[in-house]
Amino acid sequence: MKSLERIKGFIKTVAFIYPITLKNCPGIFLGGNLFGLLSGLMIGIQTTVLAAFFNAVSVAQANGWERVFLWGACMGLVVIGNEVVNGLMNYFLDCVNKYSESGYKMRLHEKAGKLSPIDYEKPEVLDVLEKASKGADHAAQFMSEVTELFTIYIPYLFAHVR
């Protein structure tokens, strides 16, 4: 029963966080996800090409070195492409983190603005505001981790399976 509650909590958290992010930076968020998908696919392709390269090396004595050079060139191109896509993905997701964090903080400030000035004298209210501020920071990091899980690692599994 606890695991079902955890899954519900996870879904509720994601359902709360993602609309705020999409509202703040839809283009950058979708671009980061696109490059994340490409990065996952490139990692899978890189693994497959690396295996083919080492297979060609292992039989090079009998079959000649042409295939080794061909697979080595392919591996170099895939590694360079992977690094470019990975850099773009990191840039986009970094921008998403900054925009989404500002969106979470803006919601916090809107709610804090509704408090009366006397409420700011109460230590309990200040503690709640401090926890909410830290929660906004953690929400941006959580959103980034969930996005990377679904855009990098799952496509890697599909690209690696032959």
Q: How far apart are CA 162 and CA 43, in angstroms?
A: 14
Q: Is 65 helix (H, G, I), strand (E, B) or coil?
A: coil
What is the average pLDDT across 152-161? 72
134: its two tokens:
């830290």
What would the pLDDT profile of 100-152 be if each residue is shown by its tens digit? 888 888 888 888 888 888 888 888 988 988 988 888 888 888 888 888 888 88
122: its two tokens:
């109460």
- % of residues, the chain, pLDDT over 70: 97
